A and B are shown apart, each in its own frame.
Chain A
Amino acid sequence: MEKIYMDNNATTAVKPEVLEAMLPYFCEQFGNPSSVHWAGRMVGGAIDKARQQVADLLHCSPAEVIFLSCGSEGDNYAIKGTADALKDKGNHIITTAVEHPAVLETCQALEKDGFEVTYLGVDQDGSLDLKELEAAITDKTILISVMWANNETGNIYPIEKIGQIAKKHKIRFHTDAVQAAGKIPVDVRKANVDMAVISGHKIGAPKGVGAMYLKRGTRISRFMHGGHQERNRRAGTHNVPGIVGMGLACELAQQSMESDYKYVRALRDKLEDGILSTIPDVKLNGHPNADLRLPNTLNVSFNYIEGESLLLFFDMKGIAASSGSACTSGSLEPSHVMGAMGVDIVLAHSSTRFSLGPNNTEKEIDFILQELPAIVQRLREMSPLYNRTSPAPLSCDECRMVSCSH
């Protein structure tokens, strides 16, 4: 059975060139870059090079790049570090209801410590109202945090415009650029961003390495205490192979961004058009204007079907995708992003994400389009919500309450 991987927003395969570049840093150039001796000196240059490669992708100075363990660490550091450093200035943070949990849960944790957080809503397309954002600013606002692109829908947020608003009001601006980096241009200076977080494993580097842009002069409290690595901003021995891999992955992404965009988008558009035109009762989740979404992401809800069932049937055909259903998120609620967009609860449980990459082929798209209608129809025939005449039990009030607690 052919294996088709369309879950690149979850993680990507390490690019062969990246792995090759990393290999010398395990057994041969194994030194700790903080050491003064030959073994340490052997690897110092590698970190500098990677820092430059990351800086080139983000359009900043290498001195403004901090290496971390992952995107979540970066979001935690940016938000908690700012909250602590600026707590005398104010206690209000503005973010959105569609952020990654690394941002949302960090903000929720700060609420317990006395911070106030505004979670901006989105419309049915997932778009923000920038007037609402600006109106939410108070004299206590210390941080605006808005993701560059959404992991579930691929929606791209107007980071440059938000950057202008932040600059006008002199408020620090953090963006989770994990999904955007490498797929679309991310220019942190042009966008007036103060902090931007990216993750290696989303762009062909291994898991366990991330990076953050921290604008020169930005006051932030340390998150990881210990050694003096990363100019005292992030303790912990450098993950040298990971950092080397991350650097090269950034360079490769930068080199092929335009061609990848065109190639991946053509495949995604074909999949999108094919699904929407051949399968009835399918809803596109995300902005209807494909220019306002990442080129690789397609999120659709196949009405009447629960997402995990669909993924299991896909899996039997070798197709790897993901879903916003409660069953796949490990919680009892479907995707918070679908909820924020006002997507009907059944449709939220049905939401299915295909996230493509440059390794996908048109043949794979054809295969999915060929297999999908029968899978969807089979599950619909099994569903009590399909072709239903009586009203469905759509809320806990309308049907027998069941134990929904863990």
Chain B
Amino acid sequence: MYTEKVMDHFSNPRNVGEVENANGVGEVGNASCGDIMRISLQVDDGIIKDVKFKTFGCGAAIATSSMVTELAIGKTIDEALILTNQAVAEALDGLPAAKMHCSNLAADALHEAIKDYKERSAAA
């Protein structure tokens, strides 16, 4: 039911963990739906230098989290903000229809992390 790319990112997820000295952290999802994604990132000069994820969820949730970190790294925060869940799913050659809503939140988690970064910078 999953594409090869999904299974690749699921079985060999990229950028798992927490960025040390992260200056932005975002978390979305909820336990009742069975998916929680946490993205931490290090932004330097408006560019995402490092990004890592931790995810509680199904195969699709882990694969989209892994993919979003690959897509986000090296991008400016403005570029990262226009990255959509749909684009993440497409980069994985698609997700099963049932997974499109609940397990496809990785871009949202990224956006939350960027929002957190912006709030922290504004407060500093």
Contacts and interface: CB of A to CB of B under 8 A. Distances in A.
- Whether both chains belong to one complex is answered with yes
A402 B10 contact: no
Interface in B35-76: 35-38, 54-62
Contact of B105 (A306, A394, A402): A402
Given A306-B35, A316-B11, A385-B36, A399 B55 contact: no
Interface in B91-121: 98-99, 101-103, 105, 108, 112
A383 B56 contact: yes
A345 B31 contact: yes
Given A309-B59, A312-B10, A400-B112, A326 B101 contact: no
B101 A383 contact: no
A217 interface: no
B102 A396 contact: no
B65 to A, nearest CB: 9
Contacts of B105: 402
A396 B32 contact: yes
Contact of B56 (A330, A384, A396, A406): A384
B58 A309 contact: yes
Nearest to A394: B31
B3 interface: no
Given A312-B10, A402-B105, A404-B33, A305 B56 contact: yes
Contact of A308 (B7, B13, B58): B58
Contact of A392 (B31, B57, B60): B31
Contact of B102 (A313, A316, A385, A402): A402
A333 B31 CA distance: 10
Contacts, number: 109
A349 B32 CA distance: 8
Interface residues of A, number: 38
Contacts of A305: 56
Interface in A277-312: 304-309, 312
B27 A393 contact: yes
Contacts of A312: 7, 10-11, 59
A405 interface: yes
A291 B37 CA distance: 40
Contacts of B59: 308-309, 312, 327
Given A309-B10, A382-B13, A406-B101, 8 more contacts: A309-B57, A312-B11, A334-B34, A382-B55, A384-B55, A398-B30, A399-B28, A402-B108
Interface of B: 7, 10-11, 13, 16-17, 27-38, 54-62, 98-99, 101-103, 105, 108, 112
